[in-house]
Amino acid sequence: MKFFIERYTLHKKTENPLWLLVLTCIMTDLMLFFLILYVSSIRPELNAGFVDGLNMKATSGAQKEKKAEDVIQKFQEKDAAETLKAELQKTGLKDMAEVQMTDKVIRINIAAPILFSSGRAKLEPNALQVLDVMGKLLEKLKQNDILIEGHTDNVPVKSGDYTTNWALSAARANSVVDYLADNFGIPQEKLVSAAYGEYRPVAPNNTPGGRAKNRRIEIVVARK
């Protein structure tokens, strides 16, 4: 009997009760949980402050994530503009299109004679080479709004399917919108066409050179 008691006592002393540690942690957490509930019930203003603190933390995290996304977007826009300039130069199209970038927009100016025949709105075969270079870069900016502007000089339309410069500029802008949407997967809701006809010249219309500059398509990418 004595031997049995000694063996049993020794076994109890060397036992490692890890379950007691786990149980202690659970009990502590439960006590803190019920304490928070109790304090919240007698002091509602503390509960509101606690919730506000959690909301502020979540909002702060969302703001940081949005800021990081904005920075990445700016780099993508700048890279697209610089790559477009390099591609135009590499393919010998530098003189056919001009790329400008500001804090708010990326503006691509294309001379209309490159894209269309006189009085027409159907894209010429040579135009596709220019638009293909641009479309590949615009694909990377699908989240940006893209405005396609049609412009003409002030010489009245004398032939073709259109009776006014405004109608001609609208049809030309729509042709570019359709081509970009159909061939490069740019969402149509991000593409907007605008017709300005002869009313937004960039040069005087009293010289052939000035009129040539005014006959143009402008692709304006809004920077985020």
What is the extent of the structural domain holding 188? Answer: 70-222
Task: Tell me which residues of the chain have a pLDDT lower than 50.
Answer: 1-9, 11
Residues 52 and 77 in one domain: no
CA 159, CA 74: separation in Å to the nearest integer? 44
Predicted TM-score (pTM) of this structure:
0.66
* pLDDT score, position 177: 95
Residue 205: half-sphere exposure toward Cβ, Cα within 13 Å: 13
Q: Is 148 found in the same domain as 212? A: yes
Instruction: Give the sheet arrangement for strand 191-197, strand by strand.
Output: 97-101, 105-111, 216-222, 146-151, 191-197
What pLDDT does 82 receive? 82
How confident is the model at residue 220, as a pLDDT? 93
Do both 127 and 169 map to the same domain?
A: yes
**Which segments within the chain are labelled E, that is strand?**
97-101, 105-111, 146-151, 191-197, 216-222
CB–CB of 122/160 below 8 Å? no
42 and 75 in one domain? no
Q: 25 and 49: one domain?
A: yes
- The residue to which tokens 């393919």 are assigned: 91
Residue 112 pLDDT: 86
What pLDDT score does 201 carry? 95
What is the Cα–Cα distance from 152 to 200, expressed in whole angstroms? Answer: 8
Q: Are residues 143 and 217 in the same domain?
A: yes
Question: Is the separation of the CB atoms in 84 and 134 below 8 Å?
Answer: yes
- Among 28, 47, 65, the domain boundary falls at 65
Please indicate, yes or no, whether residues 48 and 104 belong to a single structural domain of this protein.
no
pLDDT in tens, 127-175: 888 899 889 888 888 888 999 999 999 999 887 789 999 999 999 999 9
Contact assessment for residue 85 and residue 98, using Cβ atoms and an 8 Å cutoff? no
State the pLDDT at residue 4: 44
Task: Look up the CATH number of the domain holding residue 175.
Answer: 3.30.1330.60
Does 146 lie in the same domain as 51? no
**Letter string b/e over residues 15-42, b meaning 16 or more CB atoms within 10 A of that residue's CB:** eeeeeeeeeeeeeeeeeeeeeeeeeeee
Degrees, nearest 5: CA angle 212-190-177: 40
Count of the separate structural domains present in the chain: 2
User: What is the phi/psi pair of residue 144, to 5°?
Assistant: -90, 150
**Shared domain check, 55 and 75:** no
Whether the Cβ atoms of residue 35 and residue 27 lie closer than 8 Å to each other: no
Say what the pLDDT of residue 160 is: 75
24, 48, 65 - which closes a domain: 65
CA 141-64-186 angle, 5° bins: 15
Whether 75 and 174 share a structural domain: yes
Give the three-class secondary structure for 153. Answer: coil
**Model pLDDT, residue 69:** 60
